[in-house]
Chain A
Amino acid sequence: MPSQVNLVLTTEEQAMLAGANGPAVAMCMRIIVGVANANGAEKLIEIESAHADGTLYHGEAGLDFTEKLVALGGKVKVRTTTNVGSLDLLHPDLVHGDKTLMEHGRRLMDAHIALGCEPTWSCAPYQAGHRPAFGTHVAWAESNAIAFVNSVLGARSDRYGDFLDLSAAVTGRVPFGGLHHDAARKAVLVLDFSQIDSKMFAEDAAWAALGVILGNRAGTRVAAMVGLPGDLSDGGVTEDRLKGMGATGASAGGVGLFHVVGITPEAPTLEAIVAPSAEYVVMTAEDVRQARDQLSTTASDKLDAVSLGTPHFSIAEFRALAEVIGDGPKFAEYIDFYISTSRDVMSRAKDLGYLDIFLAAGGRVLTDTCTYVTPVMSTNVKNVMTNSGKWAWYAPGNLGIDTVLGSLSECVASARAGRVVRDESLWS
């Protein structure tokens, strides 16, 4: 039997739907209400911020939708940051795509600004000044940002995507469903890492491998991880490690929320967040090594490029990179070494001197977009090293290249040597 139509709108929401706040709000409200009806939501809830992911050009429909909102006089009602676009507006010569596509990509970015979005152009807005408070409801799109805002900040967003992100931003509403509910935030899967030597988790790249395990095991379910060493105050767990793990988990699976017991804010204890009769799995060092191997598609030591910063490089990552580079030798002449980051982080890295150390070593910085979604690398590039699990997951399909996952220090050592340099002792 068809389920009952049970969505109840407030008087204000009914007026918005009827056009009292203009045609753009009415159109966005029809989309929000359409989704709420399809999902059987009982009501809409107000959001405090949004992160818009429709900034990357996928075809004319996205451009038509966004420009129609502009033409109808649409404005975002809540703070809305923008995800990466198809262009680097600060370094336009770095991207060499089809001219029409680039022009459409530019119009799409302009239309977001016309709607009142903030030009962050970053997949890591949470490291570029946009950090919603614990427990607040938000509408975020971009899978890694959704995982981060839910898991690391403890704000609440369901998994939103193109169109619904802007509809939520313009109306300030989302259907009350999914991860906005308490019950949906409980872990139905527990992954126990306590049997693994903590030395294995000393390098960031191991956290990318953890992301593969998380994504493969959890899919779209909420998982809790126990037995990981260290915490946010001793440097054993860093925000960037959680960022990298969540991003990889959201790529390998559909992870929108994960808990690291004792670390992430909703999980002081396992009891606080575990659902009744959750599945419990004990992981081994072999599981981590196998996950790592899924992120490397070649055993060759040939190297053409290095790409860091997916999700966008943080200021802490820039500091660590500057320390590893130090006053050592420059990168090999024929290696393209790219960092993708936000313009906000780039400007801070410049002020602190980290940027110049990297540029002096022969590196290049890309802002506003990312090396795996838009043509940046030379077509001669075949083998690329990265410390990012998300980049390693998508780049072989998107760019037709081979990847090698390595730690930050392995990436720098390899770029200098001009070939892949590995330190297997990290993974024993």
Chain B
Amino acid sequence: MVKILTGKTSHPGTAQGEVLLLTEPVSFWGGVDHHGEIIDVHHAQHKAKITNKILVMPSGRGSSSATAVLAELIRTGDGPLGIVMLQCDTILVIGALVSAEIYGISMPIVELQQAEYDQLSDGMNVSLVADFESQVATVTI
């Protein structure tokens, strides 16, 4: 049965794909390599690949240079298709804004409340629609 979760647009865009649910945040600078693999050895999902996934994680982490790393992953096609978070991370929003400006690729970032966030599970197929005008975003599961 189709279910629609409603949240807030942190960055507009649409995407459809498989969820990679991270149990803890990852830093893009130093935590993810340029092929989209999680290289932070302390991370619970070390070696998981974020490429072409809907990345679901509670918040962001780490260096402010992560803006440039995310933009570079989006440019090369090694980045996620979209991101869903409990707590919006400015650094990732900046990376998405710049990718939209210079490469015309608008990767959605959606902020969900806990009750909606908890309905997402690893490996599930979802589609994101993050609207710019209304700032309303939906996650269809």
A60 to B99, CA, bound (A): 12
Q: How many residues of B contact A (CB 8 A)?
A: 38
Let me know if A143 is at the binding interface, CB within 8 A.
yes
Identify which of residues 88-141 in chain B touch chain A, using a CB-to-CB cut-off of 8 Å.
88, 90-91, 93-95, 97-99, 101-103, 109, 113, 134-137
Let me know if B11 is at the binding interface, CB within 8 A.
yes
Main secondary structure, interface of B, reads: helix
Decide: A65 and B64 in contact? CB cutoff 8 A.
no
Decide: B102 and A61 in contact? CB cutoff 8 A.
yes
Decide: B65 and A3 in contact? CB cutoff 8 A.
no
Q: Given A30-B101, A143-B64, A161-B63, is A35 in contact with B69 using a C-beta cutoff of 8 Å? A: no
A68 to B98, CA, bound (A): 11
Decide: A161 and B101 in contact? CB cutoff 8 A.
no
Q: Give per-residue flags for B7-50: 1 if the beta carbon is below 8 A from chain A beta carbons, else 0.
A: 11111000000000000000001100010000000000000000
A163 to B67, CA, bound (A): 7
Q: Which of B7, B65, B74, B94 makes the CB contact (< 8 A) with A35?
A: B94
A243 to B110, CA, bound (A): 38
Decide: B8 and A31 in contact? CB cutoff 8 A.
no
A279 / chain B contacts, CB cutoff of 8 Å: none
Interchain pairs with CB closer than 8 A, number: 101
Closest to A177 in B: B90
Closest to B131 in A: A2
Closest to A27 in B: B101
A159 / chain B contacts, CB cutoff of 8 Å: 64
Q: Give per-residue flags for B67-99: 1 if the beta carbon is below 8 A from chain A beta carbons, else 0.
A: 111011011000000000000101101110111
* Chain A interface extent, by class: 20 to 34
Decide: A141 and B64 in contact? CB cutoff 8 A.
yes
B137 / chain A contacts, CB cutoff of 8 Å: 2
Decide: B91 and A161 in contact? CB cutoff 8 A.
yes
Q: Which of A34, A35, A163 makes the CB contact (< 8 A) with B71?
A: A163
Let me know if A208 is at the binding interface, CB within 8 A.
no
Let me know if A58 is at the binding interface, CB within 8 A.
yes
Decide: A58 and B65 in contact? CB cutoff 8 A.
yes
Let me know if A53 is at the binding interface, CB within 8 A.
yes
Residue positions of A touching B, CB distance < 8 A: 1-3, 5, 27, 30-31, 34-35, 37-39, 53-54, 56, 58-62, 64-65, 68, 141, 143, 159-164, 397
